[in-house]
Amino acid sequence: MNAEQILFIVFGGISLVGAVSVISFRHPIYSALALIVTFFAQAGLFVLLGAHFVAAAQVIVYAGAIMVLFLFVIMLLNLGTLSASGSIVGKLKGVAIVLGLLLAAEGIYIAVNALNETAVASAQPTAAPVTTYQIGELLFSKYLLPFEVTSLILLAALIGVIVLVKRDGPDTD
Amino acid sequence: MERAYYFAFVEGDFVVLPLHVLIISSIVKILIIAHLLIIGVMAMIWSERRVSGWMQDRLGPNRVGFQGILQPIADGIKFLFKEDLIPNHVDKPLYVLAPAMLLVPAMITIAVVPFGSSLTIFGHEIPLQIADISIGILYILAITSLGVYGVVLGAWASNNKYSLLGGLRSSAQMISYELTLGLAIIGVLMLTVVEPGESALSLRKIAESQGKALWNWNFLIHFPAFLAFTTAMFAETNRLPFDLAEAEQELVAGYHTEYSSMKFALFFMAEYMNMIVGSAVTVTLFLGGWHFFGLENVGGPVWSGLISFGIIFVKTAIFLFVFIWVRWTLPRFRYDQLMNFGWKFLLPVALTSIVVTGILWVTTQSRLLVGIGNVVAAFIVVSIVAGLLVMNKTPEPATPELSGLDAIE
């Protein structure tokens, strides 16, 4: 077992424990924190794959920005401890089980397929880490259209928020 | 496969060290820098109090040791021996965790900041930097954005309205100014000279590309971006004039109202550590890093390394003095002013600097023109924004008649 495998087990383990904690904590703040831990461990996994930029983006965007907003909302709404019976989760238990089983089946299928291909993959050396330059080049050539469409969607969301907030007319500043 | 063990050095830098040299030198560097940071915090606490005293025409602490230089140690001992009070109404796990969550990001950011060129010891050229990773700048932005959790969680766990208000203010402020912080750097990255296959996001490369002459220093080429970055950094470190998270008149002590003894000291240390690391990053990005008119090349391979460390040390110290200076020069912003300033002035300036730097660099390839263009464009943008704000300004409502207690005030 080399260092890479040990690190994979560490990060993978942390991300699993974090993911389970997200749904098992009773308090939404603790759940949000567990989600941050999961994101962090996933960033570690990305580093192991040589995708340094994706790892940094994961931490900046998800752990750094989106989760702060989550915490913000939880605190502003002052959400207390949730109980499983009263919430919508309790009523949709059947749907949740079916969807969960589907996802698990998918995961097992992919894992079994991957196991068959491991022999081929492990013979090849690890790919060189992808540089930011290469990512930028790809974004502005091969993936230009999806990139621009994404930015348009974000722009639409931005305008939508402003319209919603400014609904009462310009004189309510 | 062995690459993976020390890719941090092989990839960003041309220096390839044997594994044992790498491990030993890294441990030594980590120990030195971590202790330097803590000593730096103590020095900052002392100098802040003395410089504040000097600026206000009083003495400041001057009893413990020569000129009061041992005062931080006395303070530290006091913090350690005070009763570690945990109020009953707090959320205990988060209350205990929050100071550490603020201190750790402050401390680990320094890992990617170069503190000198390189030292040659026993025939090995050792770069003066703990880890030269290819995404250095992104690492700094990522870790800085995590600092907000310590503030927010400490505020929430304290279960105190002043704390919570302070925490919410601080998180809104940090999110707003983080954008400027990130965007102001992009112009610098565009002009960083790298060989193919190297990453312009490495802080060492950014510092090296400023080495040729004074007019290669980034603060001259990207002057508006430099101002925006520095201002945003003041906001990120919660320093005056942006310290609304702990505005004494309104919020007692803000997010650390309920903290005492060493936990309070950790919040305090984290603030100063953020300042030191922020100054070091600014020096590396904009103020030429370890370069100073060729002084860094004087002497042999050992001396030039030590001199380069001295240069970056002095530059950082001067920048830290500016922090204290600004604190006693500018009054605190009001909260709406803070948000307006961040979103309506700093963010457009940072965005303009990206557009102008890109266009002028591609068309002219001249650093001089980029520098002039940046200043002119920033001036135009600020004028437009200010003009729009003045035109859209609604007449202020007439002040209501004062009555009762208000009239006395």
In a domain, B43, yes or no: no
Q: How many domains does chain B have?
A: 1
In a domain, B338, yes or no: yes
In a domain, B41, yes or no: no
Return the higher-pLDDT residue of B15 and B304.
B304
Which residue reads 């939404």 in tokens?
A: A28
* ipTM, 2 dp: 0.77
Comparing A32-36, B124-128, B357-361, which segment has the lowest mean pLDDT? B124-128
Higher pLDDT, A4 or B381: B381
What is the count of residue pairs from A and B with beta carbons less than 8 Å apart? Answer: 89
Task: Between A172 and B82, name the one with better pLDDT.
Answer: B82
Comparing C-alpha atoms, which of B193, B37, B230, B206 is closest to residue B138?
B206
Question: A-chain residues within 8 Å CB-CB of B141?
Answer: 56, 60, 64
B152/A64 CB distance under 8 A = no
List the 385-404 stretch of B: residues with Cβ below 8 A of A.
394
Asked if the Cβ–Cβ distance from A129 to B164 is below 8 Å, we say no
Structural domain includes residue B18 = no
The larger pLDDT score, comparing residue B37 to residue A167, is at: B37
Mean pLDDT value of segment A38-61: 87
3-state secondary structure at position B119:
strand
Q: Which residues form the domain of B275?
A: 76-117+125-390
Please report which confidence band the pLDDT of residue B267 belongs to, taking 50, 70 and 90 as the band edges.
Answer: confident
At residue A123, does pLDDT exceed 60? no
* Residues B40-80: tens digit of each pLDDT: 998 898 888 888 888 888 888 888 878 888 888 888 888 88
* Best mutation target, B6, B7, B140, B177, to test chain A (most A CBs within 10 A): B7
Are B223 and B231 contacting, i.e. CB atoms less than 8 angstroms apart?
no
A124 has pLDDT over 60: no
Q: What's the pLDDT at A168?
A: 63
For residue A137, what are the contacts with CB-CB under 8 A and spacing of at least 6? none
pTM of the model: 0.83
Class of domain A1-83: mainly alpha
In three-state secondary structure terms, B333 is coil
In a domain? residue B69: no
Q: Which of A70-79, A122-131, B14-23 has the lowest mean pLDDT?
A: A122-131
Task: Give the Cα separation of B27 and A90 in Å (integer).
Answer: 52
- Amino acid at the residue B196: P
The pLDDT value given to residue A113: 85
pLDDT at B3 over 60: no
CA of B306 to nearest chain A CA: how many angstroms apart?
31
Identify any residues that bridge with B121 across adjacent strands, giving them in sequence order.
Answer: B124
Chain B: give the shortest CA distance to residue A52, in Å: 7
Question: In this model, does residue B291 exceed pLDDT 60?
Answer: yes
CB B136 within 8 A of CB B203: yes
Give the type of residue at A97. Answer: I
In a domain, B42, yes or no: no
Rounded CA-CA distance B230/B226 in Å is 6
Q: Is the pLDDT of residue B254 over 80?
A: no
Is B271 contained in some domain?
A: yes
Assess if residue B19 is contained within a domain: no
- The encoded tokens of residue A32 equal 């949000």
Query: B369-396, pLDDT tens digit by residue?
Result: 888 888 888 888 888 888 888 887 766 6
At A105 the pLDDT is 94
